[in-house]
A and B are shown apart, each in its own frame.
Chain A
Amino acid sequence: MILVLLVVLPLLGAIAAALSGRRNAQLPRVIALGTTVLTAAVSIAALVQLLGDHDAMFAWSYTGEPGMVVFRLVGDGLAMPFVLLTALLGIVAVLASWKIDDAPGAHHALLLSLQAAVTCVFLAGTLLLFYVAWEAVLIPMFFLIGKWGHENRRHAALKFFIYTFAGSALMLVGLLVALTYTGGGAIGDITVPIPADVQVWLFWLLAAGMLVKIPAWPLHTWLPDAHVEAPTAGSIMLAGVLLKIGGYGLLRVAIPYAPEGFKAAAPILAGLGIIGIVYGALMAFAQSDLKRLVAYSSVAHMGFVLLGISTGTALGFAGAVLAMVSHGLVAGLLFLLVGSLYERTHTREIARYGGLAAQVPRWATLFTFAALASLGLPGLSGFPGEFLAFIEGFGEFGWWMIPAGIGVFLAAVYNLSAVRRVNFGPLAGEWSSLADASTVELVAALPLVVAIIVLGVAPGLVLRLTDPVVRGITMILGGGS
């Protein structure tokens, strides 16, 4: 029942926020914050329940016709890290949009329904629900970008929608094929063995939608546009959680249904991942727009995720999960900071900043911290995942890891040059009365900072959860067709 709450609570909050927004501008914010905090509390309760269960999995099903599962939510060790991440970023997103005056009721309603939809993707226990939730994510995001975005919001919103929708359409075909082999509709409940030759194209069909979402090179160009135009909360959710459903889908659906197809595709996935690592970093370095820089850094980070998955090993999968959770935290923090800076300066042009450390020390400290986390500094959350993807990738693909190593170097290049150009040097004259990060922003940033450090020091917290599920996936892979 607790899993249903995780989906329903934000939905109820969304309705309340939408209704209250007509009377009062402050009310929807408070309702949204209350809802997200409550949802986070419920997620933690779910986590406690999971840790108590030695089954390492608990589910809630609604069974309609005999033998046909209509609605099924599964909270296992693979889903829960992402559910918790979503819950945390949900709070951050609400706090980040505290100052939005343009229809706050609708804004928060959309944010909360987005959270419900994403959580539902992670918890989905049937293929149908997985697909419905997957597509449901698009709608609130589309409106968030289209209405509350910046100058080019309409184009970006449409591009985001069509691009990912085209990918999902292919995925739908794949899911329908997968469904024909699935008894009762529950994910992974494969009753008829899928022939190996079917698996080869089935994997690519399923992966098509997921690779767009991750996004894998060269399917990434919707991302920078969407990020730059999205409002801060939209960017936080987009980078923090939405991209993760791609990697999650590969682990949850595509690989278990088409293990042979995955094995055949693995070198290509690794290639796309490695290209993404180098390419994303190089593109980030080329940016003059701070938000676009962070957006391209996502391409690089998600390249590590794809690389980790492509290894097909337990530690590789673990690395991918860690890298995803970490990227959710780090990109969330970066977009929060960049958004708050934009709110004050109305520019994202890096060249116009400079020396901000002297004027806004709290903001600058957080930004430097986030940049160090983003470049994968050990001790912070980015390192363990990328390290695992790297060493396991080397185990599988050998010296092809050299370009990935160059990517590791370039990550330092673009992050530190951003810090230098924004924070260091003499203070740019026009910002001599810039205000430092507000209390609301600090409250939003603090849990992210703590989580980044905790996960960097003790990645085992997540790996302990994922271990049984990852064992299951590697067993499917090892078992052959």
Chain B
Amino acid sequence: MSLLAGNPLSVVALPFALALLIAAGGKKFVSITQWLAVVAPVAAALAGVGVLASSVPTAAQDVAWLSQGGSVVTAGLAIDNLTAVMLVIVGVVATCVVVFSIGYMADDDARPRYFALLALFTGAMSMLVMASSLVTLFIGWELVGACSYLLIGFWYRKPSASAAAVKAFLTTRIGDVGMLLGLALLWRVTGSLSIPEVLAAAPEIGAGIVTVIALLLFVGAAGKSAQFPLHIWLPDAMEGPTPVSALIHAATMVAAGVFLVVRMWPVFEVAPIALDVVLVVGVVTAFFAATVACVQLDIKKVLAYSTISQLGFMFAALGAGATGAAMFHLTTHAAFKALLFLGSGSVIHAVETQDIREMGGLLKKMPVTGTTWLIGVWALSGLPLLSGFFSKDGVIASVLHAAPLAGYALIAASLLTAFYAFRVTWFVFFGSYRGSAHPHEGGLVMTAPLIALAVPAIALGYFSAPFMQSLGHEAEALDPVVAGVSVTVAVIGVLLAAALYRLGVDRLETERTSLGPVHGVLFSAYGVDSFVTRFLVAPLEKVASWFYEVVDRKVIDGAAEGTAKLTMLFGRLASGLQTGETDVYASLLGVGFVVLMSIAIWLGR
């Protein structure tokens, strides 16, 4: 444990080596090598636990990564408590996901690629959270994005999967360009990209510039964490295998944006305008995504919008200045959302569809999945006793304190959360089965991870005090008023879902008609997607081909080719003068003489 905690590089290098080994082993050895993929996250978790247990942060291992003529850009890794918490989250969730995948992906031909990418992702994610330099962080940041791209497009034969993969990469890349500009500005202002140095210099940076830096970093965070309007890639990302969604698109990578803000907190702390932006974006995202989740018919789409919404809760907390509450919600969310995603994977594996209209009554047929799912939605809804209740309460309390109006919006989003969570639950697990498959549990490799994740989903809430203390915050007592209000709205949400759907499965069919045009707006997520396609993607293609046809071929190349043609034309004209007649030559000589003389005289004035 201390070996790993003391050598952050090994936590990165080991998964990369394992990825290579798994890929090299190929199909022949995959039934053995797939278990190697478990080693990577276990190592990450152990490193995290090692540091948390000893509460001695690992000193930064910095190297001069790019150095020339005396200027140096350092790269480095270190583990402090914040990193350790992230490592434990990544490690635990990834371990569960890898084990689950061994069952879920058992029939897939491309398992070596799959497990190699999972290992690669674990390494890249560990690098991201352990970075002691913004360059290292950015490398990890982009590598997890690449893994995400390759895993969303894992079933590349499906056009929708490959389109979703590209969309995910490109949308987050927009954020990354903002982040890159932020790094460049930090580099210019502070002359360093080492995180401790940059943070130490933050208070001295001018208010205007530090606000710009914070906003640019937030653009990067918003892309990665699917905040409005850069959220459009996450619902599509559900094209990837479901365990991947649990790991990358629910628990770890999409939380990296929140982590980034917390990591760079001293920069944000001195930029109140930037924090206001973070708050507004967070609240808008939380509410907007929750409304969309209410009408989705694809079980994974509901979870995807739910994730967007919950990440919005975390950013709202950050905007209110409550980094501890944000991190705590990040942690509990990682547990219960990964649980829900794996649960949905278990369901999809059993019923071979993602459409909730073709499910129903699965609690009896799949008791483990059903029970753990109930734990997950209980936590997600913020109903009392389970983890989500405590962490969401902290978020709402802090936002109410900072900006009451935003707090009310979050309370409304909480109501919607409970509503959509139980809407799906009634349709999937209660009533009678409406599909044509023969649903059953998927064996121990698939049920054990569900049970393992259910434990923190239940219990994490009771560790709020030590959690906050380890991150250097004071433990805050539950606010009874806020708790009362949020429990009340959650219960209303659950009851509303029950009243609307519990007794009549056919209600799902009438949802469209009874909601009228509102349904269309919600179902298409307010049309942001088609707006982007119509007003950004399509014009880009047009602009590109116009520039190519007109500017590049006609103007620039035309000028070059034209010069050549003109030269040839002059050559032909000039060669016409070569008549061999001396009188012509003599007269040209005369003309030339006069011209040259005039020039000479004019110049010598």
> Do most interface residues of chain A lie in helix, strand or loop, or is the interface mixed?
helix
- Would B66 and A378 count as touching, CB distance under 8 A? no
- Would B552 and A221 count as touching, CB distance under 8 A? yes
- Would B66 and A286 count as touching, CB distance under 8 A? no
- Please pick, from B166, B169, B180, B552, the residue contacting A408 in the complex, using a CB distance under 8 A: B180
Decide yes or no: A286 and B547 within 8 Å by CB, A222-B560, A391-B183, A408-B180 being known contacts. Answer: yes
Decide yes or no: A417 and B166 within 8 Å by CB, A287-B548, A378-B139, A379-B139 being known contacts. Answer: yes
- Would A470 and B139 count as touching, CB distance under 8 A? no
Q: Does B199 interact with chain A (Cβ within 8 Å)?
A: no
- Would A387 and B68 count as touching, CB distance under 8 A? no
- Would A426 and B157 count as touching, CB distance under 8 A? yes
Docked Cα-Cα span, A339 to B99, in Å, equals 42
- Please pick, from A394, A424, A427, the residue contacting B153 in the complex, using a CB distance under 8 A: A424
Q: Does A310 interact with chain B (Cβ within 8 Å)?
A: no
Docked Cα-Cα span, A139 to B355, in Å, equals 65
- Would B162 and A425 count as touching, CB distance under 8 A? yes
Residue of B nearest to A395 (CB): B188
Docked Cα-Cα span, A466 to B68, in Å, equals 8
Docked Cα-Cα span, A222 to B559, in Å, equals 12
Decide yes or no: A221 and B139 within 8 Å by CB, A390-B184, A423-B156, A459-B65 being known contacts. Answer: no
Q: Does A315 interact with chain B (Cβ within 8 Å)?
A: yes
- Would B69 and A467 count as touching, CB distance under 8 A? yes
Q: Does A45 interact with chain B (Cβ within 8 Å)?
A: no
Docked Cα-Cα span, A421 to B173, in Å, equals 20
Docked Cα-Cα span, A29 to B538, in Å, equals 48
- Please pick, from A377, A388, A405, A460, the residue contacting B143 in the complex, using a CB distance under 8 A: A377
Q: Which of A159, A220, A387, A393 has the most CB of B within 10 A?
A: A387
Q: Does B436 interact with chain A (Cβ within 8 Å)?
A: no
Residues of B within 8 A of A459 (CB): 65-66
Residues of A within 8 A of B549 (CB): 286
Question: Total A-B residue pairs with C-beta atoms closer than 8 Å?
Answer: 157
Decide yes or no: A405 and B180 within 8 Å by CB, A221-B557, A378-B143, A470-B69 being known contacts. Answer: yes
- Would A409 and B181 count as touching, CB distance under 8 A? no
Decide yes or no: A318 and B68 within 8 Å by CB, A394-B188, A409-B173, A423-B156 being known contacts. Answer: yes
Shortest distance from the beta carbon of A47 to any chain B beta carbon, whole Å:
19
Shortest distance from the beta carbon of A350 to any chain B beta carbon, whole Å:
13
Residue of B nearest to A474 (CB): B69
- Would B159 and A425 count as touching, CB distance under 8 A? yes
Interface set, chain B 170-225, CB cutoff 8 A to A: 170, 173-174, 176-178, 180-181, 183-185, 187-188
- Would A162 and B73 count as touching, CB distance under 8 A? no
Residue of A nearest to B178 (CB): A405
Residue of B nearest to A423 (CB): B156
Docked Cα-Cα span, A405 to B179, in Å, equals 10
- Would B68 and A279 count as touching, CB distance under 8 A? no
Residues of B within 8 A of A159 (CB): 560-561, 564
Residue of A nearest to B143 (CB): A379
Q: Can you list, as one digit per residue, whether each of A450-481 has a CB less than 8 Å from chain B (1) or not (0)?
A: 00000000011001001100110010000000
- Please pick, from A393, A413, A460, the residue contacting B65 in the complex, using a CB distance under 8 A: A460
- Would B68 and A315 count as touching, CB distance under 8 A? yes
- Would A416 and B547 count as touching, CB distance under 8 A? no
- Would B70 and A314 count as touching, CB distance under 8 A? yes
Q: Does B477 interact with chain A (Cβ within 8 Å)?
A: no
- Would B71 and A416 count as touching, CB distance under 8 A? no
Shortest distance from the beta carbon of A472 to any chain B beta carbon, whole Å:
9
- Please pick, from A314, A405, A416, the residue contacting B68 in the complex, using a CB distance under 8 A: A314
- Would A416 and B181 count as touching, CB distance under 8 A? no
Q: Does B586 interact with chain A (Cβ within 8 Å)?
A: no
Docked Cα-Cα span, A4 to B149, in Å, equals 48
Residues of B within 8 A of A203 (CB): none
Residues of B within 8 A of A420 (CB): 162-163, 165-166
Q: Does B146 interact with chain A (Cβ within 8 Å)?
A: yes
Q: Does A401 interact with chain B (Cβ within 8 Å)?
A: yes
- Please pick, from B139, B156, B170, B540, the residue contacting A425 in the complex, using a CB distance under 8 A: B156
Shortest distance from the beta carbon of A398 to any chain B beta carbon, whole Å:
8
Shortest distance from the beta carbon of A453 to any chain B beta carbon, whole Å:
10
Docked Cα-Cα span, A313 to B544, in Å, equals 33
Q: Does A176 interact with chain B (Cβ within 8 Å)?
A: no
Residue of B nearest to A478 (CB): B69
Interface set, chain A 172-214, CB cutoff 8 A to B: none
Docked Cα-Cα span, A401 to B180, in Å, equals 10
Decide yes or no: A460 and B183 within 8 Å by CB, A388-B73, A423-B156, A425-B157 being known contacts. Answer: no
Q: Which of B141, B150, B187 has the most CB of A within 10 A?
A: B187
Shortest distance from the beta carbon of B558 to any chain A beta carbon, whole Å:
9
Q: Can you list, as one digit per residue, whether each of A380-397 has a CB less than 8 Å from chain B (1) or not (0)?
A: 000110011011011100
Q: Which of A286, A368, A417 has the most CB of B within 10 A?
A: A286
Residues of B within 8 A of A388 (CB): 66, 73
Q: Does B575 interact with chain A (Cβ within 8 Å)?
A: no
Docked Cα-Cα span, A393 to B184, in Å, equals 9
- Would A408 and B177 count as touching, CB distance under 8 A? yes
Nearest 9 interchain pairs by C-beta: A314-B69, A424-B162, A394-B184, A318-B68, A286-B548, A378-B139, A221-B557, A286-B544, A424-B156
Q: B residues within 8 Å of A by Cβ?
A: 64-71, 73, 135, 138-139, 141-143, 146, 149-150, 153, 156-157, 159, 161-163, 165-166, 169-170, 173-174, 176-178, 180-181, 183-185, 187-188, 540-541, 543-545, 547-549, 552, 556-557, 559-561, 564
Taking A221-B557, A286-B547, A424-B161 as known contacts, 15 extra A-B pairs with beta carbons closer than 8 A to each other, sorted by chain A number, are: A159-B561, A283-B548, A313-B69, A315-B73, A355-B157, A383-B142, A391-B188, A393-B184, A423-B156, A425-B156, A425-B162, A460-B65, A463-B68, A467-B67, A470-B69
Q: A residues within 8 Å of B by Cβ?
A: 159, 162-163, 218, 220-222, 279, 282-283, 285-287, 313-315, 317-318, 355, 357-358, 368, 372, 377-379, 383-384, 387-388, 390-391, 393-395, 398, 401-402, 405-406, 408-409, 412-413, 416-417, 420, 423-427, 459-460, 463, 466-467, 470-471, 474
